[in-house]
Homo-oligomer: A and B are copies of this chain.
Amino acid sequence: MTDMLRDPEPFAEPVAERLGYLLRRASLVMMADLGATLAALELRPVEATLLILIGANPGCSQSELGRRLAIKSANMVPLIAGLVGKGLVERSPIDGRSTALGLTDSGAAMRDAAEAAMDAHEARFARLITPSDRAVVAGALQRIANSHPFTG
């Protein structure tokens, strides 16, 4: 009987028990699903995140977004330029060196669509964790994420 359950080709996976390994594998799976989900909107995950953050913080600067998301300023340039080029984000000068960012009307619509897509995406995975365990997981992940300074 037990032979029926035997692994036909046993392979030891000692790293599979490690927290960092599990975290990375789980993160890659969720990122892949999110990417596939947002592809319908022709948005990458980072672009959807930027739309949501700009929508929630109208007038914020490019450098401030970079600090929050740990994206270097040099790498923010093509990201924001891409969203502006798509007509989703608009810049309005604050002073000579800063520009306030905001969503255009179509940017706000796209943000709403992206949030709906992300809700559906997240629901597919939240199903795998009981509500009470979800709080435990979220708390643990937050403590890990905050245990190192995020340089940006």
Q: Is A133 an interface residue (CB 8 A)?
A: yes
Q: Are B145 and A26 in contact (CB under 8 A)?
A: yes
Expressed in whole angstroms, the Cα–Cα distance for A118 and B20 within the complex equals 9
Q: B21 near A49 (CB under 8 angstroms)?
A: yes
A26: chain B residues within 8 A (beta carbon): 23, 27, 140-142, 144-145
CB within 8 Å for A34 and B52 given contacts A25-B141, A128-B140: no
| Minimal beta-carbon separation of A46 from chain B (angstroms) | 10
Interface residues of A in 72-106 (CB under 8 A from B): none
Assess whether A5 is interfacial by the CB under 8 Å rule.
no
Cβ contacts under 8 Å, A143 to chain B: 128-129
In the complex, which of the residues B12, B49, B134 contacts A57, with contact meaning CB atoms closer than 8 Å?
Answer: B12
The yes or no answer to A56 lying at the interface (CB within 8 A) is yes
In the complex, the answer to whether B142 meets A22 with C-beta atoms within 8 Å is yes
Q: Name the CB-closest residue of B to A148.
A: B29
Contact of A22 among B21, B34, B128, B141 (CB under 8 A): B141
18 A–B contact pairs at CB < 8 A?
A: A11-B64, A11-B68, A14-B52, A19-B138, A20-B30, A22-B141, A22-B142, A23-B23, A23-B26, A23-B141, A25-B150, A26-B142, A26-B145, A29-B145, A124-B147, A128-B147, A133-B136, A136-B136
